[in-house]
């Protein structure tokens, strides 16, 4: 059992280090206080550990879960548009309910996997674009802090790609600690705590944040997560149970900052692959070990939040941008793969990346609307390219 346990620990460390700062930054962007952001990080760690432990043990499958990294990027992009953190929590709640419905109502799950590739890929790329250019901006604005981060990432991408982003985050942390001295520890809380926020159901925030959060979580995380497991030979994945459980967990954790939980994709490849164990039947242990590791990491959420708050914001976004290059390139490729729908993809990407807010609704929603209109006007029926349906729940 040692091999899958080690794989689970490595997968959890990699997943946490790659994007915990983005989660904190995203929650703060939609109005959370540092204490509320720390609560969100902690409850997400606990919830995904419970999901992975119970479902992996129940089905004897390597089912690993994670927070929605594209969703965190969406929160960063939505800065200043939610009005209050309570309204953002209401959007998290609606996102969770939609994921539950996707599991219980197969038609909606299939419909999500049939979103045209140009729209889904371009929306994802548009959301990630401002974050992915942050490393360039950071090197210009904070060269002493950002340049070593980018250099370490670049070297390890060549030699140890699995550790490139965690190593870059470690370099950033060291730089922040050295530059801030001991001041950042004054706001750090060593005692983990959950902070309850009453949800506010604001229709505009639900449309501009809750619905796009649901779409990017499904299209950018759940569908790839199912695809990874299928590719690795696990074809009996209980898709409805996975969706219903992760959606219910999102609903329950939303008041504490749990914005979106989903099936893992990147860490799933680590925990469910042959490196976890030669025998597929033994690999379910890895997500359980990874879940325990996530809980231990989540207990330091207060310290992590204080560290992020002490860092220059552009540095945190820059590290997140390095972690999201893969997702961004995937979105670009899927969006522009078909020549006949490249105009649709370009328009969708530009509208989403613009960050415009119209009638109180953010650019992610308007990008989908405008892209769909362009597709209806310009695309022939025979050329509309749909996302693959073999991963449909």
Mean pLDDT in the chain? 85
Sole residue written with tokens 């001041």: 183
Query: How far is residue 193 CA from its own chain's centroid?
Result: 23
Name the more confident of 246 and 184: 246
Q: Which two tokens stand for residue 319?
A: 């590290």
Q: Return the SS3 of 60.
A: coil
Go through the chain and tell me how many residues it has.
Answer: 393
Which among 167, 190, 215, 389 has a CA at the least distance from the CA of 307? 190
238 CB burial (10 A radius; 0-12, 13-18, 19+): middle
Q: Is the dihedral of CA 364, 305, 250, 205 positive or negative?
A: negative
Query: 315-346: per-residue pLDDT in tens?
Result: 888 887 887 787 788 888 888 988 888 999 99
pLDDT at 113: 58
CA distances from 216 to 107, 110, 129, 156 (A): 18, 15, 14, 28
Query: 270-312: per-residue pLDDT in tens?
Result: 788 887 788 888 989 999 999 999 999 999 888 888 878 778 8
Buried b (16+ CB within 10 A) or exposed e, 268-293: bbbbbbebbbeebeebbbbbbbbbbb
Contact between 89 and 253 (Cβ < 8 Å): no
Contacts of 108 (CB under 8 A, 6+ apart): 98, 101, 102
Residue 182 CB neighbour total at 10 angstroms: 7
What's the pLDDT band for 185 if we cut at 50, 70, 90?
low
**How far apart, in whole angstroms, are the C-alpha atoms of residue 391 and residue 265?**
13
Dihedral (C-alpha) 61, 65, 69, 74: value to the nearest 10 degrees?
Answer: 120
What's the pLDDT band for 383 if we cut at 50, 70, 90?
very low
pLDDT at 183: 65
Query: 96-146: per-residue pLDDT in tens?
Result: 999 999 988 877 666 655 668 788 888 888 888 988 898 999 999 999 999
Question: DSSP character for 219?
Answer: I
Query: 6-61: per-residue pLDDT in tens?
Result: 888 888 887 887 788 899 999 999 999 989 999 999 999 999 999 999 999 999 99
Contact between 292 and 271 (Cβ < 8 Å): no
pLDDT at 359: 66
**How far apart, in whole angstroms, are the C-alpha atoms of residue 205 and residue 81?**
8
Q: Return the SS3 of 385.
A: coil
Sole residue written with tokens 């959420």: 301
Q: Return the SS3 of 65.
A: strand
Q: Is the dihedral of CA 102, 105, 106, 108 positive or negative?
A: negative
What's the pLDDT band for 382 if we cut at 50, 70, 90?
very low
């Amino acid at each position: 059992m040692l091999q899958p346990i080690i794989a689970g620990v490595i997968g959890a460390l990699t997943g946490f280090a790659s994007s915990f700062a983005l989660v904190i930054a995203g929650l703060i962007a939609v109005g959370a206080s540092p204490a509320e952001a720390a609560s969100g990080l902690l409850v997400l760690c606990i919830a995904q550990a419970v999901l992975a432990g119970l479902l992996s043990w129940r089905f004897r499958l390597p089912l690993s879960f994670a927070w929605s990294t594209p969703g965190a990027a969406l929160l960063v992009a939505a800065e200043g548009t939610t009005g209050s953190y309570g309204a953002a929590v209401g959007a998290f709640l609606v996102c969770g309910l939609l994921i539950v419905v996707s599991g219980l109502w197969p038609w909606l799950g299939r419909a999500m996997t049939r979103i045209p590739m140009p729209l889904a890929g371009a929306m994802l790329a548009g959301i990630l674009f401002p974050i992915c250019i942050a490393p360039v901006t950071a090197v210009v604005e904070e060269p002493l802090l950002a340049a070593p981060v980018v250099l370490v990432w670049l070297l390890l991408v060549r030699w140890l790609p699995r550790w490139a982003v965690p190593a870059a985050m470690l370099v950033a942390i060291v730089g922040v600690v050295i530059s801030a001295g001991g001041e950042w520890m004054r706001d750090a809380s060593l005692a983990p705590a959950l902070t309850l926020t009453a949800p506010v159901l604001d229709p505009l925030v639900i449309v501009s944040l809750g619905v796009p959060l649901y779409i990017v979580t499904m299209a950018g995380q759940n569908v790839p997560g199912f695809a990874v497991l299928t590719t690795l030979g696990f074809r009996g994945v209980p898709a409805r149970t996975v969706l219903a459980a992760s959606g219910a967990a999102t609903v329950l954790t939303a008041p504490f900052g749990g914005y979106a939980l989903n099936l893992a994709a990147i860490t799933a490849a680590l925990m469910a692959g042959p490196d976890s164990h030669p025998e597929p039947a033994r690999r379910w242990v890895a997500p359980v070990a990874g879940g325990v590791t996530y809980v231990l990491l989540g207990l330091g959420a207060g310290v992590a939040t204080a560290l992020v708050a002490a860092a220059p914001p552009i540095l945190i976004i820059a590290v997140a941008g390095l972690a999201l290059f893969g997702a961004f390139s995937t979105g670009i490729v899927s969006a522009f793969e078909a020549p006949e729908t490249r105009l649709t993809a370009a328009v969708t990407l530009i509208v989403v990346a613009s960050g415009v807010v119209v009638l109180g609704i953010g650019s992610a929603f308007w990008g989908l609307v405008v892209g769909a209109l362009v597709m209806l006007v310009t695309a022939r029926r025979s050329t509309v390219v749909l996302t693959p349906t073999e991963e449909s729940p």
